Chain A
Amino acid sequence: MSKLPDAEKLCTQLARELKARVTPASAMVGIHTGGAWVAERLHAALGIKEPLGLLDPAFYRDDYAKQGLARDPKRSKIPFAVEGRDLLLVDDVLYTGRTVRAAMNELFDYGRPASIVLVVLAERDGRQLPVCAQLAGAKVEVAAGMRLRLRRDGAGRLSLELERAG
């Protein structure tokens, strides 16, 4: 298996590529947990005026009837008006697209954004919904039965790693 990309370098690269997309109406929202870590980096690097939003779309997931409520759902915090905003929605890994669908549904319960741009650190094959990222740091090949996830160590360094799904 090829080596996984360096998450720190991907953050720097994403921040550079995102610059052109930031408007005066921009605001950023990170999806709990890994997406929020990436968003913290991008938000600081881009100097976005509005405070960073945090979204845990646990109450909007489509697997509730099968799986029940996600363990330890976090409180979503959107500290700005969503109405008319150009939103930069940030997640760590784009896979089935179901988390993004849930996140967009939740965002619309806060207001009607002018636009949403999806930014992910990495994407992999396996989309089950018509969702695509406008900006992806890297495309990673992941074998079936494995999960690609972002970790943050005690010093705050981000890294991608593979683990058995389940």
Chain B
Amino acid sequence: MPGNPQLDANGELQHLLSIEGLPRELILKILDTAESFAGVTERDIKKVPLLRGKSVFNLFFEGSTRTRTTFEIAAKRLSADVINLNVAVSSTAKGESLLDTVANLSAMQADIFVVRHGSSGAAHLVARHVKPHEHVINAGDGRHAHPTQGLLDLYTIRHYKKDFSGLTVAIVGDVLHSRVARSLIHGLTTLGAPEVRVIGPQTLIPAGAAALGVRVFHSMREGLRGADVVVMLRLQNERMTGALLPSAQEFNKHYGLTAEKLALAKPDAIVMHPGPMNRGVEIDSAVADGPRSVILPQVTFGIAVRMAVMSMVAGGG
């Protein structure tokens, strides 16, 4: 496949696999379209007929509640039929390969595959093998990308901060294992946020982080100073191998977001978290439930963003 596998010959979105490689105009178009869908989600009848007759297969090889549910709600609000497959406990457990699973669902007349997989590159692999009328949306692949989360984070930041041109965004915690962080960093740099910082212990910051265009801090106090947006990442215990951390308590002491540490950021800074939160580890309850937290609005915005992405990939000939 020549060029960017996410775009068709006219530069329109064909699949959504990663934010990396999406042109700035296309990212802004997704955010603008999501803004229109946000109006739909505020009505009594929260449904439009765009995807009537289309089938969306939620193909989750890894556990998820929030992402799977918001994809399901988004598809239903577009009038699509939604089929949820908890593949981890069915076909895969019986030994079926990823591509065989997809080929079988394709035979059931799929239009959109929403794929989450523990291996980086899984969604790209599926996209290379689907039929021309089928579309793939990456709902998280290994440590690589989680583009709809990145987009909803961008939507949230734009909603509260209006534009990206003067912003300092601090991303804190387990950057090493975080596909959320990678997607957000690519989005922020593409949209021109002047300062993106990553904050965490040396063992949880990827070696080449600076090459992504970010400033690396190992002191949380220094990194938070003057930030407009603080994005806390979940400490991913399930992905930890070896001794990357002494203990969760130790992590909390240095990198947990407390009201006292948040006071170093700008007075109107917002606090985000992709969920699920480990309260008392990366974020204190007083902050998570506090007035600067926009963690629950992020979830609501995620529905409109996923409606925008699905309606953009599935339209046209």
Is A74 an interface position by the 8 A CB rule?
A: yes
Does A23 reach chain B (CB closer than 8 Å)? no
B311 within 8 A of A: yes
B40-80 contacts to A, CB under 8 A, are: 40, 43-45, 47-50
Q: B32 on the interface (CB 8 Å rule)?
A: yes
- Chain B 5-44 against A: per-residue CB contact (8 Å), 1 yes, 0 no? 0000000100000000000000001001101111110011
- Complex contacts, B29 vs chain A, CB 8 Å: 71-72
Interface size on A, residues (CB 8 A): 22
- The 8 Å CB contact of B33, one of A64, A73, A106, is A73
Query: Which residues of chain A have C-beta atoms less than 8 A from B35's C-beta?
Result: 75
Instruction: Tell me whether B242 is interfacial, beta carbon within 8 Å.
Output: no
Q: Is B291 an interface residue (CB 8 A)?
A: no
Known contacts: A69-B312, A77-B39. The answer to whether A109 contacts B33 by CB under 8 A is no
Which residues of chain A come closer than 8 Å to B43, judged between CB atoms? 109-110
- Tell me whether B315 is interfacial, beta carbon within 8 Å: yes
Asked whether, in the complex, the Cβ of B39 is within 8 Å of the Cβ of A110, the reply is no
B contacts, CB < 8 Å to A: 12, 29, 32-33, 35-40, 43-45, 47-50, 311-312, 315-317
Shortest Cβ-Cβ A-B pairs, 7 listed: A68-B316, A68-B315, A59-B48, A75-B39, A109-B45, A73-B36, A75-B36
Task: List 11 additional contacts besides A67-B315, A71-B29, A109-B45; criterion CB under 8 Å.
Answer: A59-B311, A64-B311, A65-B315, A65-B317, A69-B50, A73-B32, A75-B36, A75-B38, A76-B36, A77-B39, A110-B45
